[in-house]
Chains A and B, each alone.
Chain A
Amino acid sequence: MSEIRYSKDHEYIRVESGEGVVGISDYAQKQLGDVVFAETPPVGKALKKGDPAAVVESVKAASDVFAPVSGQVLAVNSEVESTPGLINEDALGRGWLFRIGLADASELSALMDEAAYADFLKTLA
């Protein structure tokens, strides 16, 4: 079973066998609108929690995607660079941005689980 966690900046990280798959939440893609550009980090780059890691741009604005945890970039989704609209169509699935190796699994506990994120979104309305 995978578990998904969210940051207050609307990144998600889905943990699968010790690795994290990072993207932006469905709420974030709706707020951004039509995504027209995505830039992923170089594979191998060491990221600290909170570092700008990727960029997602909609027709309206550019938006940094921050590393929700520390770790090394293991792989990136080249499909979203050629077809950025995947982030709108399937943010949690085919719209993922990069995989990260977890440097410190305890950082996950500082992130919100699905229920806590849903509550957090209610405070933004």
Chain B
Amino acid sequence: MTEANQKTPLHALHIELGARMSPFAGYDMPIQYPAGVLAEHLHTRQAAGLFDVSHMGQALIESGDHTAVASFLESLCPADFLNLAPGRQRYTQLLNENGGIVDDLMVTRAPGAEGALRLVVNASRKEADFALIRQRLPSGVRLTPLPESALIALQGPVAAATLARLAPGQGLEAMAFMSARPARIAGFESFVSRSGYTGEDGYEISIASAQAEGFARILLDQPDVAPIGLGARDSLRLEAGLCLYGHELDETVDPIEAALSWSIQKRRRVEGGFPGAKRIQDALANGPDRQRVGVRPDGRAPAREGAEIVSADEAPIGVVTSGGFGPSVGAPIAMGYVARSHAAVGTPVNLMVRGKPLSARIVTLPFHPHAYHRR
């Protein structure tokens, strides 16, 4: 139902740029522009891509002091927020009572804002997330969705120089990966984090919806910046080995199976105190039964989501959760879940594609090296 789909503040701009639009998570979104998915993917790796991610859910959790907000979020997520420094950001998961993943999200402590954490959640999950959070809110803590804020990602090796030119003297190019702060870019007030979903260096910029189109036009006027659709966003994140909710992640998968244990800081591993802590601590101690892995087919045929993974002697061991062609890898790539017995890097497996076993092997993630700006 096209009329039921919401529009982001950049919708008219996408149409003007010649985008092919398609429904995604209840929004009419650009899948690709005339350049096409391959060219858009490679452009992001070589220069800079602009992504409209305004469909994602932005919100604040607010209270008088950091401890109240951080403790509340720690009751829902396994990351350490009490020790999250001002101006820093963390990736985490909202968990159900079994430790299954309700959503994955970014949590940011803005510099100077005492007692507020900013959330960015998946578009397809925001209603479920906000309902869960509201249900658990203690007195004195508020959830404030930010539907009047757009979110624009600028990703790629030229992103930092582009923002430095538009915001001279503000030091945005010196920001560390997973840090965040307010900034004035080309005259627009915004909130910027150095993060993204492509494996490249880059930024996500939150800006008032009413100003988003003017801001995006200025970015697109910069040399080396091109608009990138959701098609390339998916191939970029797959090459970067990043999870997509509804594919690698759902309510049956816990963060250890999903190979996200790096996102659970030591204090939380020891203390627990998050939903499903027993299952997650057990998986940390003994290893999960199944594990998210990278898979490289030996031939040229891609294996798509849902393809069965079988062992060398064709016993069922798992399933592909995302698969396709990696434009920067120049070959088919996939992620999926396999039994722990077959999860070691180098293990030969077969992918069932159109009824035939295609030989493949388990490989390390990411498929394409991350280029984050770490200090």
Residues of A in contact with B (beta carbons under 8 Å apart)? 33-34, 36-37, 39, 55, 57-62, 81
Contacts and interface: CB of A to CB of B under 8 A. Distances in A.
Contacts of B354: 55
A39 B302 CA distance: 11
A61 B235 CA distance: 12
A62 B32 CA distance: 17
Contact of A33 (B36, B300, B304): B36
A39 B353 CA distance: 12
A59 B37 contact: yes
Interface stretch (B74-82, B324-332, B360-368): B324-332
Interface residues of B, number: 18
A33 B302 contact: no
Contact of A37 (B32, B37, B41, B301): B301
B38 interface: yes
A60 B301 contact: no
B302 A57 contact: yes
Contacts, number: 40
A60 B302 contact: no
Nearest to A55: B354
Nearest to B323: A62
A59 B235 CA distance: 8
B300 A37 contact: yes
A39 B301 contact: yes
A43 to B, nearest CB: 18
Contact of A36 (B32, B231, B302, B304): B302
B326 to A, nearest CB: 9
A48 B301 CA distance: 25
B301 to A, nearest CB: 6
B304 A37 contact: no
Interface string B301-313: 1101000000000
A81 B299 CA distance: 11
Most B CB contacts (10 A, CB to CB) among A34, A39, A57 go to A34
A37 B39 CA distance: 16
16 contacts: A33-B32, A33-B36, A33-B231, A34-B36, A34-B39, A37-B301, A37-B332, A39-B301, A55-B354, A59-B231, A59-B235, A59-B327, A60-B31, A60-B37, A61-B304, A62-B302
A62 B327 CA distance: 16
A59 B324 contact: yes
Contacts of B231: 33, 59-60
Given A57-B301, A62-B302, A37 B36 contact: no
Interface in B313-336: 324-325, 327, 332
Contact of A57 (B37, B39, B235, B325): B325
Contact of B325 (A36, A39, A55, A81): A36
A32 B36 CA distance: 10
Contacts of B235: 59
Contacts of A62: 302, 304
Contacts of B37: 33-34, 58-60
B226 to A, nearest CB: 16
Contacts of B332: 36-37
A108 B92 CA distance: 59
A37 B301 CA distance: 6
Contacts of A61: 304
Contacts of A57: 301-302, 325
Contacts of A60: 31, 37, 231, 324
Contact of B38 (A37, A59, A81): A59
Contacts of A36: 38, 302, 325, 332
Nearest to B331: A36
A76 B36 CA distance: 28
A37 B302 CA distance: 8
Contacts of A58: 37
A59 B301 contact: no
A109 to B, nearest CB: 31
Given A57-B325, A59-B231, A59-B325, A34 B301 contact: no
Contacts of B32: 33
A33 B235 CA distance: 14
A36 B36 CA distance: 13
Contacts of B327: 59
